[in-house]
């Protein structure tokens, strides 16, 4: 079954990856090595068992799309984990056979910070969070043919956020409190909310959650309730469920802000999910000539706060609905799904040329006020996109 998750941005072809099936895909004849040692900052002990991997700097910002032709190039790049090692009992590691180029050094050690959040598209990367600087523990190495680079690493322990998801009357809308996704968003200086790559946890049978390895930053926390399933013209697709921020609002701007400065634990970050006073927002999408549109994405978000939205695909009959909607002012929007076609290989045979399809319809949106009852059904009228 296809999954349609809560989203910050419209579905993007930048998420299309040319996946290399292991290091055998690397064609570079010239290689080098990386070696070094890794320790834990709090205990000063060797970080035995830590996984160290290299991620190519090239291409981390995504493909550049030609605005005239819609074309872009995807090139085969070493993926995180294609070149890796595990620290031994003394904290030493070595990665050999690395093609020449520039790489980030990434680590994975439970309870300790990873560099990934600071590298695009991590929310703390300078590209997404202007003014943010790379901390000292984010290393870049240049691999030249026949050389060995030394990298010594010191890992800092992250902070933690924990709390409970509950329902006011003790009744849940599922068999138990277990398995509710709780996620964190990094709140930037200008008030934007950006997805934290490692900020996800599921509740246990009591509704408790804990998120570890949290880097220093400002955060808001929300519960993403289980999704429904929509029967579309292309099959069954999951739709986004409720989004409730701590403390008990659908608006991120009203959420409690949690300031993580170091290794402290922020507890009692609790979220209460309402079971009464909820409504349905429903409607359909038609062309100006009255024809049904049954391919596209409809989003529901608090008016003025599109950053995090509920999303659903249109049903086969062109209708849509969002259930369990609290009273609030919302915006409902429609957008065509972004699709791309393969044009062919690049002239130097090092990549693939892709071309975005022009969307069949222009995006459209409509505001809706939900107060005390289900609002009237919405009809979104769309216009064909210019050729």
> Are the beta carbons of 310 and 322 closer than 8 angstroms?
yes
Same fold across 13-155 and 277-339+356-387: yes
In the numeric block, the tokens 């939205």 are attached to: 309
> Are the beta carbons of 282 and 303 closer than 8 angstroms?
no
Q: How many CA atoms are closer than 13 Å to the CA of 9, on its beta-carbon side?
A: 12
Pick from 383, 345, 346, 339: which is nearest to 16 by CA? 339
| Pairing of the two strands 92-99 and 31-40 | antiparallel
Domains in the chain: boundaries: 13-155, 158-275, 277-339+356-387
DSSP state of 249: B
Q: Which of the following CATH numbers is that of domain 158-275: 1.20.1090.10, 2.60.40.10, 2.30.130.10, 3.40.50.1100? A: 2.60.40.10
The CATH class for the domain spanning 13-155 reads mainly beta
Residue 272: per-residue pLDDT: 92
Question: In CATH, what number does 277-339+356-387 get?
Answer: 2.60.40.1120
In the numeric block, the tokens 């993403």 are attached to: 224
Residue 74: per-residue pLDDT: 86
Q: What distances in angstroms separate CA 223 from CA 182, 242, 281, one per listed residue?
A: 4, 8, 20
Query: Which tokens in the block code for residue 315?
Result: 């049903």
Residue 21: per-residue pLDDT: 37
Distance of alpha carbon 140 from alpha carbon 34, whole angstroms: 11
User: What size, in residues, is the chain?
Assistant: 387
Residue 82: per-residue pLDDT: 79
Distance of alpha carbon 354 from alpha carbon 345, whole angstroms: 9
Distance of CA 354 to the CA centre of its chain: 23
Pick from 26, 18, 20, 38: which is nearest to 97 by CA? 26
Query: Which tokens in the block code for residue 364?
Result: 């459209």
Residue 8: per-residue pLDDT: 44
Q: How many CA atoms are closer than 13 Å to the CA of 305, on its beta-carbon side?
A: 20
Q: What is the phi-psi region of residue 134: left when phi exceeds 0, alpha when psi lies from -120 to 50, beta otherwise?
A: beta
Distance of alpha carbon 66 from alpha carbon 325, whole angstroms: 40
In the numeric block, the tokens 């703390």 are attached to: 124
Q: Torsion angle, CA of 299/302/306/312, rounded to 10 degrees? A: -10
Element (H, E) at 241: none
> Are the beta carbons of 158 and 114 closer than 8 angstroms?
no
Distance of alpha carbon 246 from alpha carbon 190, whole angstroms: 20
Residue 199: per-residue pLDDT: 80
Distance of alpha carbon 382 from alpha carbon 32, whole angstroms: 55
Residue 28: per-residue pLDDT: 42
Residue 239: per-residue pLDDT: 85
pTM of the model: 0.83
Q: Which residues of 128-162 are buried (b: 16+ CB within 10 A; e: fewer)?
A: bbeebeeeebbbebebeeeeebebebebbbbbbbb
Distance of alpha carbon 163 from alpha carbon 223, whole angstroms: 11
Mean pLDDT by 10 residues, the chain (387 residues): 44 36 47 96 96 86 83 74 91 95 94 92 89 88 95 95 88 73 93 88 94 95 87 83 92 96 95 92 95 96 94 95 95 94 91 92 97 96 91
Pick from 293, 278, 256, 287: which is nearest to 327 by CA? 278
């Amino acid at each position: 079954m296809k999954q349609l998750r809560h989203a910050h941005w419209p579905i993007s072809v930048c998420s299309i990856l040319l996946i290399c099936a292991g290091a055998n895909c690397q064609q570079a004849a010239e290689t080098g090595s990386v070696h070094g040692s890794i320790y834990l900052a709090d205990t000063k002990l060797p970080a035995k068992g830590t996984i160290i991997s290299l991620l190519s700097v090239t291409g981390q910002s995504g493909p550049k799309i030609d605005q005239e032709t819609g074309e872009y190039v995807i090139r085969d790049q070493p993926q995180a984990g294609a070149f890796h090692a595990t620290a031994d009992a003394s904290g030493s590691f070595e990665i050999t056979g690395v093609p020449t180029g520039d790489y980030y050094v990434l680590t994975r050690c439970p309870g300790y910070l990873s560099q990934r959040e600071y590298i695009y598209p991590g929310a703390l990367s300078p590209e997404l969070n202007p003014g943010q600087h790379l901390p000292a523990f984010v290393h870049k190495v240049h691999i030249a043919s026949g050389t060995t680079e030394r990298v010594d690493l010191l890992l800092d322990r992250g902070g933690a956020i924990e709390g409970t998801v509950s329902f006011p009357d003790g009744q849940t809308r599922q068999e138990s409190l277990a398995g509710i996704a709780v996620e964190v968003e990094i709140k930037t200086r200008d008030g934007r909310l950006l997805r934290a790559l490692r900020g996800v946890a599921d509740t246990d049978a009591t509704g408790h959650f804990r998120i570890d390895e949290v880097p220093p930053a400002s955060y808001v926390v929300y519960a993403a309730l289980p999704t429904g399933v929509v029967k579309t013209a292309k099959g069954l697709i999951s739709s986004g469920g409720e989004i409730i921020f701590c403390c008990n609002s659908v608006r991120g701007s009203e959420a409690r802000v949690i300031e993580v400065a170091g290794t402290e634990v922020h507890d009692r970050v609790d979220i209460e999910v309402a079971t009464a006073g909820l409504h349905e927002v429903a409607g359909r999408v038609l062309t100006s000539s009255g024809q049904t549109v049954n391919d596209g994405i409809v989003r529901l978000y608090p008016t003025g706060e599109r950053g995090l939205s509920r999303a659903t695909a249109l049903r086969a009959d062109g209708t849509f609905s969002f259930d369990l909607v609290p009273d609030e002012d919302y915006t409902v929007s429609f957008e065509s799904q972004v699709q791309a076609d393969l044009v062919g290989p690049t002239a130097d045979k090092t990549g693939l040329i892709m071309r975005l399809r022009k969307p069949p319809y222009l995006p459209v949106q409509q505001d809706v006020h939900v107060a005390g009852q289900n609002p009237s059904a919405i009809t979104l009228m769309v216009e064909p996109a210019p050729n």
